[in-house]
A and B are shown apart, each in its own frame.
Chain A
Amino acid sequence: MSAQLNLSREDFVSDQEVRWCPGCGDYAILATVQRVVPKLNIPRENFVFISGIGCSSRFPYYMNTYGFHTIHGRAMTISTGLAVSRPDLSIWVITGDGDALSIGGNHFIHCMRRNVNLNVLMFNNRIYGLTKGQYSPTSEVGKKTKSTPYGSVEQPVNAISLAMASEATFIARSFDVHTNHLGGVIQRAAEHKGMSFVEVYQNCNIFNDGAFKDITERSVRDDRVLELEHGKPMLFGAEKKKGICFENGVPRVVKIGENGVTEKDIAVHDETGENPAIAYMLSRLDYPEFPVPMGIFRNVLRPTYGEIVNEQVESVKAQKGKGDLRKLLRGTDTWEVK
């Protein structure tokens, strides 16, 4: 590690006035990111924040780093090109549930499977905010919005499950109102080499206020959130007496001390498991049947896209020698005209 850069939160605050609605969950996420990035000991000029379109996508304007506010759904494509051309940078994608999962759904899948070295923070508020309140791909069935006055008829997509199916190497979830947890997850995401996907439950207090309050309110949180910790039993509840166990591969909520259940019966979280099946199963747990898992679902290592692309260039150079343009233009068959 290089010498300490001694950067602080203030170094990452831009001169632009923040223009989200007062009370928006985005403020807390911005503050958390600005608190975490100085700890990474990466020079400020090596940070690039790239976004698509939507409320969340204004984010880069507020970070005093390099930034690119691009077009709807395409932030991951632009980031892929940047990561290939500049593997030295710390590239962050700021996106939303509509931007990443609807218009950008195709890029989401392919960016994940390529393991592009990016930190993708997807703010999920289960609504289209910037276009003033239409249902999004994560809105629940029956959701009444401006474009679904009789309720949404569509099955929502689970971002964590999709990321898992798309072979992302780091997959996590956190939420706006628990900034300590969020900060910890974001820091781990930044430290992970490869695709880091973080879904952040974020409250839109204008168009979908309280979308997550049943889970995230301080008064109920202990019982309804399962904080995943690597190597530790999956316990929750104020007394940590409730837990998840797997019976014949099926998850179940159990209480320690009831029906002979002891802590040994509780499943231990392994974020590095080679087989993603258990992590996938965790991604399906949802309130009210289960507590909602927060934290790191999966954290495995695979060579990154930028690395492999650049290594291939180097290995072909080593094999064939540096390209000779003159020879290349000649091709294989030439003839002389005198």
Chain B
Amino acid sequence: MKLSRREFLKGAAASTALAAIGLPGVAAAAEAETKWVKGVCRYCGTGCGVLVGVQNGKAVSIKGDPNNHNQGLLCLKGAMLIPVIYTPDRILEPMIRRNGKGSELEKVSWDEALDFAAKRFRDTISEFGPNAVAYYGSGQALTEESYLANKIWKAGFKTNNVDGNPRLCMASAVGGYTTTFGKDEPMGTYYDIDNATCFFIIGSNTSEAHPVLFRRIARRKQFNPDVKIIVVDPRRTNTSRIADLHLHFKPGTDLALLNGMAHVIIKDELDDYRFHGRHCVFKDNDGSERTFEDYKAFLAEYTPERVQEITGISAENVVKVARLFAESPNTLSLWCMGINQRSYGVWANNLIHNLHLLTGHIGRLGASPLSLTGQPNACGGVRDTGSLSHLLPAGRVIANEKHRNEMEDFWGVPRGTIQPTIGHHAVALFGAMATGDVKAVFIHCTNPAHTLPNLNKYTPGLQKAFIVQTECFHDAETTKYADVLLPAAFWCETDGVYGCTERRYSLTEQAVQPSGNSRPVVNIMMDFAKRAGVDPKLIPFENAADIWDEWRTLSNGSPYNFYGMTRERLKKESGIRWPCPTEDHPGTVLRFVRGEDPLVPADHPEKVFFYGNPNGKANILFRPYMPPFEPADADYPFVLTTGRVIDHWHTATMTGQVPELRKAYPGAFVEVNPEDAARMDIRNGDQVVLETRRDKMTFPAKVTDTCMPGLVFCPFFDKKKLVNRLFHDAVDNISKEPEYKICATKVYKQV
């Protein structure tokens, strides 16, 4: 049903009022009375620095931090963060469903809510053991929150059922970095954008997902027209419109292209023999060491012609892109969910790293494989702190006894406290909730009822398990399933650190007091944990700064060393890049490079030292092409993919509060190629049905040449159209990350 004219007018009036709040330079009163508090944007992994303007204890405006990497620039979402703080949709009182699922949420006191939640956890653990409880966290949680939760659950409750939504977005990138380089996280920074001569952008719609970075790339080209931009994406996005070469290919076949590029590079003798001879080891898919000749033989089948057959990219372009990549002085690769959210996502990551290692485009300004992080704190909060079911802090793994012992010693718990078996990864966790193996879960800062793949399969789990949720907004779909809803302080209402794509840790200082009866999540977690039976000595922190100090200390001596980033220093500076071992160290631009990376000894014989691996070398891995889990076929002839839109963040629980952003994208739609649309007589706005093997949904059509024929796209932000019901939940074998990007669908016009 359509909105009435009156409703539209109401929306228009509200937006004018809010526009005044959200924009810089339009502050309500005199500038002199405004206190500017430094922080980081709440949204994407670009990690733009912000300054929040506070007047009389209320946040009134926001502008970009000129001293952070974004140089004062913000995208529209970030510029409109202020109204989100004060939206009426905020959860401001603790609430419980006293009589189980489906009953009404009742406002209660903090004590009652926490006791109610804690008792359930205690009872569950005593009856069913610690593996019947879990924590599901987020790449948008503050680092202190994730570190704390990791400690509480793994050393306090003694279960490794600690996972989070980075499993759904960056796990493959983690897998890629760790299998290639031994340790996680990129080696470059955003400076590489300013120095690259060739950009290889694959599986990333940078212009919509990382707009501020995209502008930096576009300007690099604008002022240096010789810079080449290659975009590899089945969709003709805004990103591809600045490309010198846009390769669109049959979805899911990019692994063939990447191997094909390596094939051409070696055949044309464009590889840097000296570099990979010195710094790389060739390894088969089963882990055994091989030689360069073996690699050549492995690549023999990936001729340009064969690649053309598989991908649809012309053989000529395969050669062209390989040469552009290799011959350019400095090539920078950027990728995101198109590569990560795949059933062979780790392999896809490895193949990109292979290209850089083969050509030596690594360890120099402008030459690097830089994985773009989706969320603002997947890196700093979850990956680095090891808050996943198979990891421990600072690059340690559960499976390694020595690592477990190190953590037990550091945390002051007896040896053997940390379980030796890994816990449930995200998808398996919600599966375990459905079967009843996991009976109580603490969900923080994420919205799994909206974002899990193959939703129809996992909502029974949410319906069954006891859920304690820390959340800021009623709008989140997951609140429907919460048994205990705890109001969390939002963003700048508390202080904490975010670590973004380029290994930069930036502090958001507390700008205003938490609204209503909400509390900082670190306080909520500690209070809850103590009541649930966790030893208080494990969590003796007064505030987030204390937690930061412990984590900082722990990092000392590890490859993730940021010991030099004291709280004071973070307050003064606008973010510092790790490794940063001492307080006077300025931070690291080029990781693994002697003279740049403080963790490489100054007298190391090689200039490049991949100290993540025991032999100091990076692995070039033989990863064959594998097709996607559910390609298009005769019954389901279209490929369906999903992703974000520029004006909404994820499930729009925050951006949906801003009328201007809602106006721009009020609801989900399906992008249909004009050829396909003409064949099915589909116009802009016509209702189109997408039917997959799992579910069926209707969307208004947007006829556009963005998608290639045979591909349709629908964004996932709309809670009234939970598109994840359509997708399957096949995961990458190594990273356990679901393949959101490709499934098969029928497309037809609704009669």
- Do these two chains interact? no
List residues of chain A with CB under 8 Å of any chain B CB: none
Using CB atoms and an 8 Å cutoff, list the residues of chain B in contact with chain A: none
